[in-house]
C-alpha cells in the first residue's frame, strides 16, 4: 500500500470547497466561461468532495498500488483540459498524494477554479504557469483534443508522458440493468446536453 502524502492538507480542501469563498469563485468562473453553469460546477465539486477528498476513499484507492523500491519524487507537468470544471483534479491529486511536486498549466476556460484549488493546498509544491518549460519537468500529463495532444507530444518529445486525446464512450447493456442503473446512465448521457441548453438560455 502507498502511504498517502499530505493527506491532512488534502482533507482540509473539502471544507474550502464547501465554503462561501468557493461559491464566490464559482460565480466568477461562470461569468468567465458560460459553459460552466452553477449546476455543472456544483456537480464537479460534489464528486471531488465525496469521491476524492475522503480519507477512507483515498486509503482504499492507494491500497491497490505500491511504489517501486527506487521511487523518487519528481516534478510533474500537467496540461489541463477545460471542458469540465476541475477536470484536471484527478491528475493533480494522483501526483501529489504519492509525493510529487507539480507544475500545472490550467486551461484558459478553467483558470479561476484551478487557482482556488492550488491556493488551498499551500503545503504542497504546486506552480501555476502559462506555459510549461520542458526543462522544468520530469514527467508530463496532458489532456485535450487529438490535435492538441499530438502537438504536445512533439513539443515535449523525450519526456515520459501520458497524453489523452479525443475519446468516446460506449455502454453495453445486458438487459438485466436495474431502473436505478438506467437512470444513472441516462443522467451521464444527457448531462452535457443539459449543460449546453442552460448555457444557450443564458447567452
Q: If you write DSSP's letter for every residue of 164-198 in order, what string do you get?
A: E-S--------S---HHHHHHHHHHHHHHHHHHHH
- The pLDDT tens digits for 30-84 are 999 998 999 889 989 999 988 899 999 999 999 999 999 999 999 999 999 988 8
Q: Length of the chain in residues, anyone?
A: 203
User: What pLDDT was estimated at residue 187?
Assistant: 82
Element (DSSP H or E) covering residue 78: strand 75-79
The total of other beta-carbon atoms located within 10 Å of residue 182's CB is: 11
200 pLDDT higher than 60: no
17 pLDDT higher than 90: yes
- The pLDDT tens digits for 105-117 are 999 999 999 999 9
First-to-last alpha carbon distance for the chain, in angstroms, is: 49
The pLDDT confidence band at residue 166, using thresholds 50, 70 and 90, is confident
158-175 core/surface letters (b: 16 or more CB in 10 A; e: else): ebebebeeeeeeeeeeee
The pLDDT confidence band at residue 198, using thresholds 50, 70 and 90, is very low
Ordered by where they begin, the domains of the chain are 7-167 (3.40.605.10), 169-203 (no CATH)
194 pLDDT higher than 60: no
Amino acid at each position: 500500500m502507498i502511504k498517502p502524502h499530505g493527506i491532512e492538507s488534502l482533507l482540509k480542501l473539502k471544507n474550502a470547497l464547501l465554503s462561501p469563498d468557493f461559491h464566490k469563485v464559482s460565480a466568477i468562473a461562470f461569468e468567465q466561461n458560460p459553459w460552466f453553469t452553477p449546476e455543472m460546477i456544483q456537480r464537479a465539486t460534489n464528486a471531488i468532495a465525496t469521491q476524492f477528498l475522503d480519507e477512507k476513499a483515498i486509503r482504499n484507492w492507494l491500497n491497490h498500488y505500491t511504489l517501486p523500491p527506487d521511487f523518487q519524487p519528481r516534478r510533474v507537468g500537467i496540461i489541463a483540459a477545460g471542458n469540465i470544471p476541475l477536470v484536471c483534479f484527478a491528475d493533480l491529486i494522483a501526483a501529489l498524494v504519492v509525493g510529487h511536486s507539480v507544475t500545472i498549466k490550467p486551461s484558459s476556460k478553467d483558470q479561476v477554479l484551478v487557482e482556488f484549488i492550488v491556493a488551498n493546498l499551500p503545503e504542497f509544491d504546486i506552480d501555476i504557469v502559462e506555459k510549461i518549460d520542458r526543462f522544468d519537468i520530469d514527467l508530463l500529463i496532458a489532456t485535450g483534443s487529438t490535435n492538441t495532444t499530438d502537438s504536445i507530444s512533439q513539443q515535449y518529445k523525450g519526456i515520459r508522458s501520458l497524453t489523452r486525446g479525443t475519446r468516446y464512450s460506449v455502454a453495453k447493456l445486458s438487459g438485466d440493468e436495474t431502473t436505478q442503473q438506467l437512470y444513472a446512465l441516462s443522467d451521464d448521457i444527457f448531462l452535457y446536453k443539459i449543460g449546453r441548453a442552460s448555457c444557450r438560455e443564458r447567452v
